Amino acid sequence: MKKIFTFIAAAAVSLAAMATDYSGKITVTINNEPTTQDATIAINQNEDGSYVLNIKNFRLTSNGTTIDVGNIVLDNMKGYTINNNTTVVADQVINIQNGDDPSVPMWYGPLLGDVPIVMAAQFDDTNAKADIDIDMRNSIQQFINVKFETPNYNGKYGDVNGDGSVTAGDVTVLYNILLGN
């Protein structure tokens, strides 16, 4: 019995080690109108080596109005790591889930139905950057861009392979990620 509890405790610790919360600024631009606020994203590595990005209990505040969106989860993303900097990309259709904050009476994200998302993110142990495009022009006539960045992120935008410059090598890395190489 003692071995079972030890195994469960070790499993819980290893799962916690694979999850990282990143706090920073998120800028949401809807039809060319940006709003910026503080946010936290979590990036976890699944047992199969793929990644999941989660924006939990996301609330969009713009012009004094708050829209309670919900949990935005991108899962099963392939990752590519160079120099301790991991890049993940996604081209998925998701359904935003209700958040779990009991103070929110209604989450509006689940009402959207299928949400097409194209995303690229880079992260290391302490910093992250993500760029998300959500094309909802067919359903709600909105194109939404979401940019997230931690305050100390020092990577160059588009530098996927971490060599300090944006070159064709970055395109090759993205190509390999998309193909699962």
Query: In this structure, how many other beta carbons lie within 10 angstroms of the beta carbon of residue 74?
Result: 22
Contact by Cβ (8 Å): 70, 84: no
In a domain, 49, yes or no: yes
For range 156-177, the mean pLDDT? 64
Name which residue leads in pLDDT, 152 or 149: 149
- pLDDT 10s digits, 122-140: 999 999 999 999 998 888 8
For range 9-24, the mean pLDDT? 60
Would you give the DSSP letter of residue 85?
Answer: E
For range 18-31, the mean pLDDT? 87
The pLDDT of residue 157 is 55
In a domain, 11, yes or no: no
The pLDDT of residue 153 is 76
In a domain, 12, yes or no: no
Number of residues that make up the chain: 181
For range 14-37, the mean pLDDT? 80
In a domain, 3, yes or no: no
Structure tokens at 24: 């920073």
Question: In sequence order, what are the residues at sequence separation of 6 or more whose Cβ sits closer than 8 angstroms to the Cβ of residue 110?
Answer: 70, 95, 96, 97, 98
Cβ burial of 135 (10 Å; 0-12, 13-18, 19+) is middle
Q: Which domain holds residue 74?
A: 21-179
In a domain, 4, yes or no: no
In a domain, 13, yes or no: no
The pLDDT of residue 2 is 47
In a domain, 102, yes or no: yes
The alpha carbon torsion through 85, 90, 35, 70 (nearest 10 deg) reads: -110
In a domain, 16, yes or no: no
Instruction: Give the whole-number percent of the chain exceeding pLDDT 70.
Output: 75
Read off the pTM.
0.74
The pLDDT of residue 6 is 38
pLDDT at 33 over 70: yes
Give the pLDDT band of residue 80 (cuts 50, 70, 90). confident
What total number of domains does the chain contain?
1
Give the pLDDT band of residue 175 (cuts 50, 70, 90). low
